[in-house]
């Protein structure tokens, strides 16, 4: 009986692979993975389709694959070759070195998070970044919560609970992950008053909808979609003038929001936070981890008395960020005081501004390495393509880029190859286009090029991870 020839758990634990894993992993976890691997082999043998008895080393290799997927499903590190710079599924913006150093510092030492070191008294945790945000945006005051969805909910609940909020129909957006403006509005306790049509909303539409129940006028940046053709939306300045006339606050959800003008990379401009402040918005909210290039956070800048009201809402306490976020945000904002430093230091901005010459140079290097690793020339090419900013910003703007294009081997498929790349270590995400895999070099870090090359070559040749 073949089953009796299967290696025992203790034999597998003696293999080189297992011994290496045990240097950083508790024994019971590896034992569990080996048991699962052996069970799978047993099932195969029992099905009788000619499965061979694996060696102890082969079982260990299978156990290693199972280990990371089924036993300790830790978040794998990923090489992002999708060309989407702010990729929500892959964790959005990467942090600058400055931000990482600050995180390490406050993570390993106490910090004056909520006390004033001068008076020794208790204070708010966002007062320090508030100063930085005010200097950078020209706003009177600022506050920071967990993410922009929380910021919008906090604003609406604080200023409009039990009253009405006027929004243009063309701005009733859904952002990925079930954040829909009408639903957030309902949850906040406010009532939505839609004005205008999908493609056209005029100032008079807003004005006619204003009643004594109106709490505020809300403008939402369209972010992830564009309406083109016969369209009209009211500019923020006009809405502000209307708000002033009726003594109503005007709130703008900027979505991504940017502090640096991305049009210098040759694409359309994403609205700048400082422009919304200048246009007179009473509150402006935006994300910390989209184009800003910082940690996940929801930032609100605007009028002092309104920010003070937000801080008094019990939801503010529920939505607060931890010290690591403040550390990273502080450091990220600091880069913006010298715009050139921001473009140099913040990975999201770095990737947006990478030149085609540089991308092509990196591409040539990868192609050479792939050849050296034994991949045939016919299976690969270096081709021009386009990258996207992502994060729900500038959906119709494309940055010219260079991609490594890989054709799977005879008998393999693009989907199977892409899956092998995703489940390996480090995991690799790319684009699939008509039976070929496209690896956009814009979103691959220079120090990842080597690993990417090795992963592509191994996966192409048919490596199996686990079973």
List contacts with ligand PLP (CB under 6 A): 147-149, 152, 173, 175, 179, 220-221, 223, 253, 255-256, 287, 298, 392
- Minimum distance, C-beta of residue 289 to ligand PLP, in the bound complex (Å): 7
Q: Of the two residues 277 and 456, which places its CB atom closer to ligand PLP in the complex?
A: 277
- Minimum distance, C-beta of residue 184 to ligand PLP, in the bound complex (Å): 8
Beta bridge partners of 115: 122
Can you give the C-alpha Rg of the chain in angstroms?
27
- Minimum distance, C-beta of residue 183 to ligand PLP, in the bound complex (Å): 12
Chain mean position to CA 31: 35
Phi, psi of 326 (to 5 degrees): -65, -40
Q: At what angle do helices 148-160 and 304-312 cross, to 10 degrees?
A: 100
Q: Is 112 exposed, middle or buried (0-12, 13-18, 19+ CB in 10 A)?
A: middle
- Minimum distance, C-beta of residue 332 to ligand PLP, in the bound complex (Å): 14
- Minimum distance, C-beta of residue 101 to ligand PLP, in the bound complex (Å): 24
- Minimum distance, C-beta of residue 256 to ligand PLP, in the bound complex (Å): 6
Q: How many other C-beta atoms lie within 10 A of the C-beta of residue 376?
A: 11
- Minimum distance, C-beta of residue 405 to ligand PLP, in the bound complex (Å): 31
Q: Of the two residues 249 and 288, which places its CB atom closer to ligand PLP in the complex?
A: 288
- Minimum distance, C-beta of residue 148 to ligand PLP, in the bound complex (Å): 3
Phi, psi of 106 (to 5 degrees): -80, -20
Listed residue (272, 246, 251, 248) closest to 153, CA to CA? 251
- Minimum distance, C-beta of residue 175 to ligand PLP, in the bound complex (Å): 4
- Decide if 9 contacts 27 (C-beta within 8 A): no
Q: Of the two residues 173 and 272, which places its CB atom closer to ligand PLP in the complex?
A: 173
Q: Of the two residues 307 and 321, which places its CB atom closer to ligand PLP in the complex?
A: 321
Q: Of the two residues 174 and 358, which places its CB atom closer to ligand PLP in the complex?
A: 174
Residue of closest CB approach to ligand PLP:
255
| Helix segments in 373-436, DSSP class H | 414-423
233 secondary structure, DSSP code: -
Tokens for 115, please give them: 């006390």
- Decide if 62 contacts 467 (C-beta within 8 A): yes
Strands 436-440 and 399-406: antiparallel
Q: Of the two residues 298 and 363, which places its CB atom closer to ligand PLP in the complex?
A: 298
Beta bridge partners of 308: none
Contacts of 147 (CB under 8 A, 6+ apart): 287, 288, 296, 297, 298
DSSP per-residue string spanning 161-201:
TTSEEEEEGGG--EETTTEEHHHHHHHTT-EEEEES-SSB-
């Amino acid at each position: 009986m073949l089953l009796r020839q299967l290696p025992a758990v203790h034999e597998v634990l003696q293999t080189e692979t297992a011994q290496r894993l045990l240097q950083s992993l508790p024994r019971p976890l590896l034992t569990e993975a080996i048991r699962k691997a052996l069970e799978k082999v047993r099932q195969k043998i029992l099905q009788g389709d000619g499965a061979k008895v694996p060696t102890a080393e082969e079982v260990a290799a299978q156990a290693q694959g199972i280990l990371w997927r089924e036993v300790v499903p830790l978040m794998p590190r990923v090489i992002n070759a999708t060309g989407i710079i702010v990729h929500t599924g892959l964790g959005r913006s990467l942090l600058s070195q400055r931000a990482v150093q600050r995180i390490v510092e406050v993570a390993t030492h106490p910090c004056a998070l909520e006390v004033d070191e001068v008076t020794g008294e208790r204070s708010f945790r966002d007062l320090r970044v508030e100063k930085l945000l005010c200097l950078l945006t020209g706003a009177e005051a600022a506050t920071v919560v967990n993410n922009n969805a929380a910021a919008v909910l906090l604003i609406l609940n604080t200023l409009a609970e039990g009253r009405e909020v006027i929004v243009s129909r063309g701005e009733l957006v859904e952002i990925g992950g079930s954040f829909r403006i009408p639903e957030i509005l309902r949850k906040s306790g406010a009532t939505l008053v839609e004005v205008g049509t999908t493609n056209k909303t005029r100032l008079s539409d807003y004005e006619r909808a204003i009643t004594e129940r109106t709490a505020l006028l809300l403008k939402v940046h369209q972010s992830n979609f564009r309406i083109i053709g016969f369209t009209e939306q009211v500019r923020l300045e006009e809405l502000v003038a209307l708000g002033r006339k009726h003594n109503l606050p005007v709130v703008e959800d900027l979505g991504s929001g940017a502090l640096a003008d991305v049009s210098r990379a040759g694409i359309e401009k994403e609205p700048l936070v400082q422009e919304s402040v200048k246009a007179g918005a009473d509150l402006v909210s935006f994300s910390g981890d989209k184009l800003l290039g910082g940690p996940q956070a929801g930032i609100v800048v605007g009028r002092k008395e309104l920010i003070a009201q937000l801080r008094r809402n019990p939801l503010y306490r529920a939505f607060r960020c931890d010290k690591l976020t403040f550390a990273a945000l502080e450091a990220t904002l600091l880069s913006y005081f010298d715009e050139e430093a921001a473009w140099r230091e913040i990975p999201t901005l770095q990737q947006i501004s990478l030149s085609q010459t540089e991308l092509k140079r990196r591409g040539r290097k990868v192609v050479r390495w792939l050849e050296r690793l034994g991949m045939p020339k016919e299976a690969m090419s270096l081709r021009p393509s386009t990258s996207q900013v992502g994060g729900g910003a500038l959906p119709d703007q494309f940055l010219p880029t260079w991609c490594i294009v890989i054709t799977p081997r005879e008998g393999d498929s693009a989907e199977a190859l892409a899956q092998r790349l995703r489940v390996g270590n480090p995991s690799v995400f790319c684009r699939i286009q008509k039976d070929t895999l496209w690896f956009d070099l814009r979103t691959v870090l220079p120090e990842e090029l080597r690993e990417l090359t090795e992963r592509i070559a191994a996966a192409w040749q048919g490596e199996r991870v686990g079973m």
